[in-house]
Structure formats: structure tokens, C-alpha cells
Structure 1
Amino acid sequence: MRQILVFSSAYYPAVGGAEIALAEIMRRTSDEYVYTMLTHRMNRNLSPHEFVHGVEVWRLGWGTKFDRLFVFPLLAFWKARKLLRRRHFDLMWAMMVSYASIGAYFCKLMTTSPPLLLTLQEGDPEQHLDRGKLGLLGFWWKRLVHGADYIQAISSYLADRAVSLGARGRVVIVPNGVDVEHFSRPSDVSVAQRYRAFFQITPEQRVVVTASRLVPKNAVDVIIRAIALLPQQYRLLIMGDGPQRPALEILAKNLQIEERISFVGTLTHAELPDALHVGSVFVRPSRSEGLGNAFLESMAAGLPVVATKIGGIADFLTDGHTGLVVSVDDPRDVAQKIERLFNDKKLYQSIQDNGLALVKQHYSWDSIAEQMQRVFTEASLQHPQV
């Protein structure tokens, strides 16, 4: 069996888009590949070495922010160097332009190493990618994109960015997937009733949902302003948490609609489908997006989506067919599109059906894993860039 050395700044028990993608792909390709993971030890209670769902995981560091920022890339390089001397690896796989990926880059510079596959998953604004962390993020984007032997981007937007930064290896697009069965299963009626009772949602109310980290790029403030423009029967459930939550709560209060806005907080992957089914429309007018798994998960759950056509969203959002497109930072446009979906049942049903068909055909994890197997095979045959 072929062996892949994986570099990721976060992994289980952390759960985000990148971590879910790693887990789903590795699980579905474990009959062909043996994976060894190098990741940061997020806290001291986590074991420095264990097997998680068949994957050997080395957690490096001492569980502090300082070692993640300043020491972890060197620890990842040092551990990888030792493993590369002891075992034969067919490929190094770096997840995102991250602290872990810097360790993989050092391996290419200082050791005889296998080819480097770089996965691009980022959804941050261009300005942050270019100038974030005092310009260091832009520096490492250029170094890693230029040094990778093969690049897999989850959207056309990220693939184009890699090419514009001087990628020398092949660049292919393989998106993240969706657990279609998990999100499309019938809602647990008792759970939905508990949500509705807890948030005091009445039968005549029209419920809009959003799910995201509460940060400026996800434009939850725009959704709140849109709800303020709609009649009283419209409610908003906000799933997720983040640094912007206090400011968003103040905004809802200042607009005098705090009784119509419910902050659900962070939900587990298992809890999310039932929570989504409480709503009828999913809205996220993003200011930037690498792909946007939350949109695809909502489509799988049968919810029409309202979104901007920013970044990777353009790969799956066709206005009037798989969702409704809104302008960036335009609460009035968002309000109009929400109301249109609730009032036009034929359009609602059409977008609902088309969205579900899209994720089933193009975004199931089984299909994505098959595509990634081809990527691994092609990438492992590349002559390492110097």
C-alpha cells in the first residue's frame, strides 16, 4: 500500500471544513493508502501520538498559542524529516497555506522528499490572504504555491489564484464534498419541535437560517439588517459562534428586532441537519468564500439558498436555478430575495429540487474520494520541484 505523509495545522478533535475533508477522504481511500498525520497539539490533554480511525496521528507542541505560531512549523519539519528517513512515503500532502504546510516546505528545501501536494481551502478575503499576519501570509502563499509539485483547489477561484501566483505544478479543481445521506435524511420531528419550542417559533412564522463562524466575511450583519426590512413574521436562526457575536447582538437590539433573532451557538456536525430543517431558506451573503460547504449542506437538507456569487460560490450557484444571487453588502436585495422564495412556491420547489440534484451528482464524498485517488496517483508521479 502507498503511504502519504499529511501536514495539517488542525485535526480531530477539531472539526472544520478542512478537518472534515481530510477525515472523509482518508476514510474512503484507506484500502489504497496508509496515512500518517502531523498536526498541532491543540491542548496538553491530547495524546501526542495515537491512531484515530486508522490514521496515525502525531500531535506536535505543548498546547500553547506560542508554540503553534512560532515553533510548530519547525517541529513539523523535524518530525517529518525523521519519518522520511525511516519510512518510504509516496507523497507529502499539505492542507492549506498553514503553519503545518510551512514544515512541508522546509522538507522540500532541506531533505530528499517525495512530491508535495498542496490543497487550497481558504475562504478569507483577498486582502487578508495578501497582507494578513503583517504580510507573512502573502509571503507563504507565494512560496508554497510556487514550491508545490501539484495543487488541488476546492474551487475555480482558488485555482485561478494559484496560477496567478506562479504555480509551477499542475493545478486541478476537486471540491469538498457533502454527506448527502446525513443532511437529506428526514428531520427528527421531536428534535425540530424542541427547537421551535425553545426559540418560541410559531406555525405562522417564516424561518430563515444561516450557519457560519461569526466573522465579518460571512456578513451575518447584512442578514440581520435584511430581517429588519421584512414583516414581523420573519425569524432568523443564527447557527455558529465567533468574535462578532456581541456586535451582532447589539445590532439586532439597535434595530429593535432582537426578539426575531435567535443565536443558536455552535452545533456539532450531527446536530446540524435537524437544526437546518427548522428553517425554510438558507441565507449567507458572504463577502469572501473559498467554496462554502454550508451552502451545499443546506442544499442537501432541501433548503433553497440565497447567496452572493463571490469566490468559490460561483462554481455551484446559478441564479434562479440552484439558488438566488444577491449583491454584496445589500440588505434590501437580500430581503427581497428571501421574500420572493417564500411567496413563489413554484420557484421555491424548483430551486429546492435542483440544489439537491446538484449535490447528489457532483458533491458526494464518495465521488470526491474517487477524484482524490486520481490526484494522489498523479501527484506521486511528479518530479519534485526544487
Structure 2
Amino acid sequence: MSPDAAVIDLQPARHERVLMLSWEYPPVLVGGLGRHVHALSVALAAAGHEVTVVTRHADGAPLEEYADGVRIVRAAEDPVTFPLATSSLLAWTMAFNHTLTRAALRATETGGYDVIHAHDWLVAHTAITLGEHLGLPLVTTIHATEAGRHQGWLPEEMNRTIHGIEHWLSNAATRVITCSGYMRDQVTTLFEVPAGDVDVVPNGVDDRAWHARPRAVASARARFAGDGPLIGYAGRLVYEKGVQHLVRAVPYLRRRHPGLRVLIAGDGPYREELVDQARGLHLHDTVRFAGFLDSTQLPAVLGATDATVVPSLYEPFGMVALEAAAAGAPLAVAATGGLAEIVEPGVTGVTFPHSDPDALAGAVDQLLADEVFARRVARRARAMVGERYGWATIAARTAGTYAAARRAHLTGGRLARARPGERRRSIEIPEGNLLAMGGAAG
């Protein structure tokens, strides 16, 4: 277990009553956030905590229900609707927070709570309003930062506004949770939150769900592999995921390993550019873009690979690395962000500097050229996932943060910064490179 675990009370004195806020929760799943909040809520409920999740409504879903031990309250969209698109994201978010706040207040009419837990900037206005209105400690999880997603640059008004909201939410919270030491450094540097007020609680994974049956693995290999090794990637197809560097490394790897195939699972706005890149390198017979694969398909596909590559430029945590490890895939990951904290070179996988196709090719070649080594690091990685990242452990650490937030709230703590009627310092967002100015880890 990491040293960060030592500062968190793993045995809170009582069961917590948690009001959790998230803009996505099943059946609304946009990215990894909804799956994280669902798994965490269920694990907390299984440990005896009372959890209410207030979230966005979806067509056909009930406005309120109990599922997996969790009370779910969904905020119906108001009659005056805003499109959920990039150009109108801020307007949509403000409208969403109005209906989310009303739904959360309705939830409090039939139950008392000890702590509010907000997930990311899209619920900031509701979270801070509830904290002040109800007089409760606020815990917020910062899953990623706008500055980090854009390598430190905030070129547009929308980017700068989101950064400002992240700053505001982080400083209004009684305690902040980040998924890695890398993200803790970003929060303390970019948002000026004292390191002692930030708890590192990694994301969890249900390793059993990623153990595919041998027959399914064999079927996936027959479908996607050729006469040589199979390399895999799974995730969103956006620039910061670094898939362009994986594609650039393929010609070298193909010369070294005849019959090699590369499977890219996922979708996103960068897909067409990646397809064009592969076509320009004459890789149409080698690189296959499989599109989105769901949770019933992906474990077998990852388990069938001889190496799964995570080439991210920016990665707050690196969930796909844990999932691939749980599936039994040998890992080659960029030594950046949370990935560098998951994979120990030569022990649970291999690493390479991000944005370096030659180094990426060398790392993958190390796995493909030595099957005994590749299988050894894969076994160790799978064991590591079960030992460190099970949801019961993650829920216990999160509950420890709740207990610490309650103590801080009772003694004044950081909540004093966010009390009603007090004047807050305005947040000025510079035009330049925030990460370079602040010296955040990268």
C-alpha cells in the first residue's frame, strides 16, 4: 500500500450518511466518472454507510429508486433546455446545477446527512450551495484539471472559466480527494490548496469483472491477431491519450515482429486523424480501429494481447492500465501522471517517456521479444490490482476522508473560507502556461 494510505483513517468511528453529487451515474455514462461514482457508492453502501447519489436524469429512468443499496435521486431537466455541446457547455452546466440543487434539497427533506461529496467541477455550484445552506462539510474529488487536459494552456474563455470553477470548488471544500500523487501536486500548485488538506485515494477496479474466460480470450485472439503478436490500446481517441505516438511506432515494431497486429479500441474526435495517419504510413493491414467495445468484450480483448499500450501525454490516474492488468495483459505505459505510480518498471510492466515513439517502440519490443518476462510482469500486475485497488479498500479510505472532513468542520477547519457572507478573493486566470508557472508535476 502506498505511503499516502497512512494519513487516512481506515477505521472511521461510525457509518457516514453521504450526499453524493455527480453529473453522470448509470444509466448515464459519458466517461469513467459515472462508473467510478457507481462503484464507490455501492462499495460504501456494502460497508454500511448510507449513500444518496443525486445525479442527472435519463429518459426512461425513474426519478428516484434504490439500487445496489444506494438511494438514487435524478434531477429532471427543466422545460427551458440547453444543448449539451462544447459551445454551450457552460450554459448547460448552470441550468443543470439549478435542477440538481432542487433535487438534492428534496432528498434532504427525507433524510439527514453528515457530509457532501462532489465529483468534479460540473456540480460545483450545487455542492457549494448545499454546503452553505445545510452547514455540512464538503468533500470534493478532483478527477482531472482543465489545465492538465490542455498541457497547461487555457486558450479560450471556456477553458479559463472551468479552471476558475475548479479553483473555487477546491478551496470551498473541507477536504479534497485526488486519485494520485500527481493530481495532488496539480491541485496544490494550480489551486493553492495546502497539501495537508488533500487525500490521495486511488480509483478502484473490480478485478473479477476483468477476468475473461479462456475460451473468450482465445476467440478474441482468433478475431483480431494475425500470425504474429497482438498489441492493444483501449480508451478515448483524443490528442492527450497519445495514440498518434503508438501509430508512429508501428512500422518499427512490424519490421521487428512479422505478422504483428495492432488493435485500437475506442472512439473520439481524433479518430479520423489517426486513421489518416495509419493510412499515410501504409498500416491499413496492420492497425485496426475497432470502435467502442463494451465491458462484455473488452476484458477478453485485453487478455488476448501480448502487450497493451497506454501512451498518454496526460493521465490523472490511468484506469485502463489497472483494467488491462486485471485482464492479464502485459503493460507498456507512458511514465506520466498517475500511470507512473501504478506501473513499476521491470516489475509490473515497462514504461517509456511520453510523446516519444522511439522509446514507446523499444518498451513494447522488450515485452514482445521476451515472452517469459512479459508473462511474469503481467502476473505481478494482476496480483497488485487485487491487493491495492479493490473497491472495499477504496471505500474505506474514502470514508476515512469523510471522518476527517467532519472533524475539520467541527473545529472550524477549511470551511471557514467558504462561510456565507464572507468575501472571497477573486480568481485571475492567466493567459499563459499554468503548469510551467506553477511547477506542477508533469
Same fold (TM over 0.5): yes
Which residue identity does 1:9 align to in structure 2?
Answer: W
| Structure 1 counterpart of 2:244 | 221
Q: Please report how far the alpha carbon of residue 44 of structure 1 lies from its aligned counterpart in structure 2 after TM superposition.
A: 3.6
String of CA shifts for 1:79-135, please: whole Å, max 9, x gaps: 334444553211100012x222331022234x1331001112227652637636241
Change (3 A) 1:175 1:76: same
Change (3 A) 1:334 1:124: farther
Identity %: 24
| Structure 2 counterpart of 1:372 | 398
Q: Give 5+ residue unaligned stretches, structure 2.
A: 1-14, 410-414, 419-442
Question: Residues 50 and 56 of structure 1 are in contact (CA less than 8 Å); yes or no, is this contact kept in structure 2?
Answer: yes
Please point out which of 8, 11, 21 is paired with 2:36. Answer: 21
Which residue identity does 1:68 align to in structure 2?
Answer: W
Which residue identity does 1:71 align to in structure 2?
Answer: A
Please point out which of 266, 272, 293 is paired with 2:298. Answer: 272
The CA distance in 2 between the partners of 1:259 and 1:210, in whole Å, is: 17
Task: Indicate the SS of the match to 2:144.
Answer: coil
Are 1:210 and 2:224 matched, yes or no? no
Please point out which of 100, 116, 132 is paired with 1:92. Answer: 116
| Structure 2 counterpart of 1:47 | 62
Question: Residues 159 and 171 of structure 1 are in contact (CA less than 8 Å); yes or no, is this contact kept in structure 2?
Answer: yes
Task: Indicate the SS of the match to 1:166.
Answer: coil
Q: Which runs of structure 2 are paired with 1:341-380 in the superposition (5 Å)? A: 341-380=367-406
Are 1:291 and 2:317 matched, yes or no? yes
The CA distance in 2 between the partners of 1:10 and 1:156, in whole Å, is: 25
Cα RMSD after superposing both structures? 2.3
Change (3 A) 1:118 1:219: same
Task: Indicate the SS of the match to 1:89.
Answer: coil
Q: Please report how far the alpha carbon of residue 295 of structure 1 lies from its aligned counterpart in structure 2 after TM superposition.
A: 0.5
Change (3 A) 1:249 1:125: farther
String of CA shifts for 1:277-303, please: whole Å, max 9, x gaps: 221101021100010011111112222
The CA distance in 2 between the partners of 1:187 and 1:124, in whole Å, is: 39
Q: Please report how far the alpha carbon of residue 141 of structure 1 lies from its aligned counterpart in structure 2 after TM superposition.
A: 1.3
| Structure 2 counterpart of 1:9 | 23
The CA distance in 2 between the partners of 1:48 and 1:181, in whole Å, is: 31
Are 1:149 and 2:174 matched, yes or no? yes
String of CA shifts for 1:188-220, please: whole Å, max 9, x gaps: 41x334434444x33x31100011111111111
Q: Please report how far the alpha carbon of residue 39 of structure 1 lies from its aligned counterpart in structure 2 after TM superposition.
A: 1.4
Which residue identity does 2:68 align to in structure 1?
Answer: H
Are 1:118 and 2:140 matched, yes or no? yes
Which residue identity does 1:59 align to in structure 2?
Answer: R
| Structure 2 counterpart of 1:77 | 101
Change (3 A) 1:54 1:48: same
Task: Indicate the SS of the match to 1:282.
Answer: strand
| Structure 2 counterpart of 1:182 | 209
The CA distance in 1 between the partners of 2:135 and 2:270, in whole Å, is: 42
Are 1:261 and 2:283 matched, yes or no? no
The CA distance in 1 between the partners of 2:365 and 2:183, in whole Å, is: 32
The CA distance in 1 between the partners of 2:16 and 2:353, in whole Å, is: 47
Which residue identity does 1:219 align to in structure 2?
Answer: G
The CA distance in 2 between the partners of 1:80 and 1:55, in whole Å, is: 15
The CA distance in 1 between the partners of 2:377 and 2:222, in whole Å, is: 29
Further displaced range: 118-127 or 261-270: 118-127
String of CA shifts for 1:33-55, please: whole Å, max 9, x gaps: 222222123x4443333333332
The CA distance in 1 between the partners of 2:96 and 2:40, in whole Å, is: 25
